[in-house]
């Protein structure tokens, strides 16, 4: 098995930039991606893994002594894992608008020689998927065995199924929806306001100066609350206090374990993620609607040819299960080959990362069925 490494490719070079859904043009676009395993063009075995809001292309770290960084889905991708890289050729690309090697607001604008900042155009999930399609074309991959991802990654999965129905044989959207809902948009707006009200945000032109760390950290804290459930908060933290309980009555220093957890998560994200990317990608989630440009949601979903394994999470606050069930109900009425599986996990939206073992058998079986077919 070859070790994985990050690679870069430049797409949409002038005079052929990408025309975004907004009508604006963007190019050239650098894409950072990683591949795992060997591609078999005679028996298409490529699986595209799409990452969530703050993810990156490093989906697995299970390769060789030079790979010290854990992958964000090590439990899933690797030799002998659910997405077995001894059988499948796995591709994971950092999304357009990201900050882990793919062109985004922190990248250098070739017209000015400075980071784009807010001069970067607004993007959509459809734009993100168009860049991924161009990457696959460059790699010579016309067909995918499957596309899989959770959250924002699951939104990409559904966009793949609708926009490029001839490419994937199967799609596995996890804890996702075909069109984002108002409560999710509301959560995202509060997070963006936390960033934009940080005085160091400086209208998005903070590069080279102090970072809007307080704003991004606060945004992440709220985001983490939406990724969890009341049930999981009780299970993990209850009302436990760090140190002496007497201090709770003296000042506003975070002392409850749940408080210190949120602060830790906020500080950790500031070390690895760009605040403007958080703005752009959360807005892409808000704009997500696979039916845009079609007469109805039904018409859009009727374009799907792939087999579907739709996965929901019982305790998900951010993507409640009615959203996944709506997709399944419509696809069943349209005569699509669709299966629904619900994770009975208390861990909320994060369950597809925390309790992945619950869906390991159903995903293994689904992929094996695609291979046999």
Residues known to be catalytic: 151, 316, 349
- Other Cβ atoms less than 10 A from the Cβ of 13: the count is 10
Cα 2 to Cα 180: distance, rounded to the nearest angstrom: 39
Positive or negative, the CA dihedral 58, 62, 65, 70 is positive
- By residue count, the chain amounts to 373
DSSP string, 72-131: TTTTTEETTSSEETTT-EEEEEPPTT-SSSS--TTSEETTTTEE-GGGSPP--HHHHHHH
Taking the alpha carbons at both ends of the chain, their separation in whole angstroms is 25
With 0-12 CB in 10 A as exposed, 13-18 as middle and 19+ as buried, what is 140? exposed
Cβ(121)–Cβ(287) under 8 Å?
A: no
Query: Is residue 306 classed as helix, strand or coil in its secondary structure?
Result: coil
- DSSP annotation of 144 reads E
Cis peptide before 350 (omega within 30 of 0): no
């Amino acid at each position: 098995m070859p070790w994985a490494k990050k690679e870069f490719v430049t797409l949409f070079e002038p005079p052929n930039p990408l025309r975004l859904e907004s009508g604006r043009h963007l190019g050239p676009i650098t894409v950072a991606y990683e591949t795992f395993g060997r591609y078999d063009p005679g028996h298409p075995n490529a699986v595209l893994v799409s990452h969530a809001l703050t993810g990156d292309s490093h989906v697995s770290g299970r390769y060789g002594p030079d790979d010290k960084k854990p992958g964000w889905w090590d439990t899933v991708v690797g030799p002998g894992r659910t997405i077995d890289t001894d059988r499948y050729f796995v591709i994971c690309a950092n999304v357009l608008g990201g900050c882990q090697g793919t062109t985004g607001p922190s990248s250098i604008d070739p017209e000015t020689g400075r980071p784009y900042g807010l001069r970067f155009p607004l993007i959509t999930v459809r734009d993100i998927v168009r860049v991924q399609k161009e990457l696959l074309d460059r790699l010579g991959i016309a067909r995918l065995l499957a596309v899989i991802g959770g959250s924002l990654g699951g939104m990409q999965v559904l966009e793949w199924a609708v926009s490029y129905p001839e490419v994937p044989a199967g799609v596995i959207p996890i804890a996702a929806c075909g069109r984002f809902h108002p409560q999710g948009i509301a959560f995202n707006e509060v997070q963006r306001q936390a960033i934009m009200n940080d005085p160091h945000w400086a209208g998005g032109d903070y590069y080279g100066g102090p970072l809007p760390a307080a704003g991004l950290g606060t945004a992440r804290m709220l985001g983490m609350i939406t990724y969890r459930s009341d049930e999981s908060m009780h299970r993990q933290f209850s009302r436990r206090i760090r140190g002496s309980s007497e201090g709770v009555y003296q000042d506003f220093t975070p002392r409850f374990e749940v408080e210190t957890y949120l602060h830790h998560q906020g500080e950790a994200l500031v070390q690895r993620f760009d605040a403007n990317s958080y703005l752009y990608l959360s807005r892409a989630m808000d704009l997500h609607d696979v039916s845009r440009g079609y007469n109805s949601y039904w018409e859009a979903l009727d374009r799907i040819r792939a087999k579907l394994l739709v996965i929901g999470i019982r305790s998900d606050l951010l993507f409640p299960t009615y959203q996944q069930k709506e997709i399944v109900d419509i696809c069943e009425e349209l005569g699509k080959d669709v299966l629904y599986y619900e994770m009975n996990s208390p861990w909320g939206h994060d369950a597809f990362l925390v309790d992945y073992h619950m869906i390991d058998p159903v995903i293994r079986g689904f992929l094996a069925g695609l291979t046999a077919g």
